[in-house]
Amino acid sequence: MHSVDVSGHVALRQRARTATTAELAAIPWLSLLSPEQRERTVAQLEVADAEVGERICRIGRKANFWFGVIDGLLKMSNDDSSGQAITFTGVPPGGWFGEGTLLKRECYRYNIQVLRPSIVAGLPIDSFHELLENSLAFNRFMLNQLNERLGQFIAAREIDRISDPDLRVARNLAALFHPQLYPGVGSLLRITQQELGYLVGLSRQRVNQALNRLARDQLISIEYGGLRVLNLAGLQSFPKA
């Protein structure tokens, strides 16, 4: 994996290890591969424990891995670019990202930063392209991934123009519960109000007000250490629900 040049942290690559059985079970696309492809891919996968504040990807750095979140929470943004700072999305468990950059063998145009202690997996770019060339099931997964990602980024730009804080929180939460992009989340997302504030661009206090409104509308429940979605369709269509 890429080295992460954050002061006080050991490079992420130096902490890389093989994935455990439980961690492999949390990778949604592995089950689509043939036994032989899965065996080769598992041997090439690397996993590391990432610390808060570390950057998994950095603008301008060459993409060498396809990354996924086994556990934790990451933030995708352009906050080092010369344009207006935009948080594109959070990346919760089950989410894999960077495929578009790897397909074109380009440098990253965004940063990926760790918001809470996370377990991150990486597949080398050559292994990624090998699967594209030899696995029809993986190709179908990737087409769906790219299609859903495009819709997500279009929605993110729309969310960025929303001035209503409650609506911003609802839309961002709905995106984090996306069943195709983030199958590891299920109905309960481990996130604090401060972390959600970082993603939405609001203070923790204002996020708290919005979450209480969504809870009163029975769209979510606020639980210890996280948020549970009760009505995803209602959250997506808020405030019409």
Q: What pLDDT digit, counting tens, does each position of 18-55 carry?
A: 999 999 999 999 999 999 999 999 999 999 999 999 99
Tens digits of per-residue pLDDT, 57-101? 999 999 999 999 999 999 988 875 445 566 778 899 999 999 999
pLDDT tier, 12 (very low <50, low <70, confident <90, very high otherwise): confident
Answer whether 214's CB lies under 8 Å from 166's CB.
yes
Domain boundaries, the chain: 12-160, 165-237
* pLDDT exceeds 60 at position 10: no
Answer whether 39's CB lies under 8 Å from 77's CB.
no
The topology (CATH level 3) of 12-160 is Jelly Rolls (2.60.120)
- Measured distance between the N- and C-terminal CA atoms of the chain, rounded to whole angstroms: 43
Quick one: pLDDT at residue 155?
Answer: 72
Instruction: Average the pLDDT over 181-209 and give the result.
Output: 91
Quick one: pLDDT at residue 2?
Answer: 47
Per the prediction, the chain carries an average pLDDT of: 88
Residue 88: closest CA among 119, 114, 72, 111? 111
CATH of 165-237 among 1.10.10.10, 1.10.3720.10, 1.20.120.160, 1.10.1050.10: 1.10.10.10
Beta strand ranges found along the chain (DSSP E):
46-50, 55-57, 65-77, 87-91, 96-97, 111-124, 188-189, 220-223, 226-229
Question: At residue 211, what is the residue type?
Answer: L
Tokens of 3: 């080295």
Distance CA 4, CA 74 (A): 14
Radius of gyration of the chain from Cα atoms?
A: 18
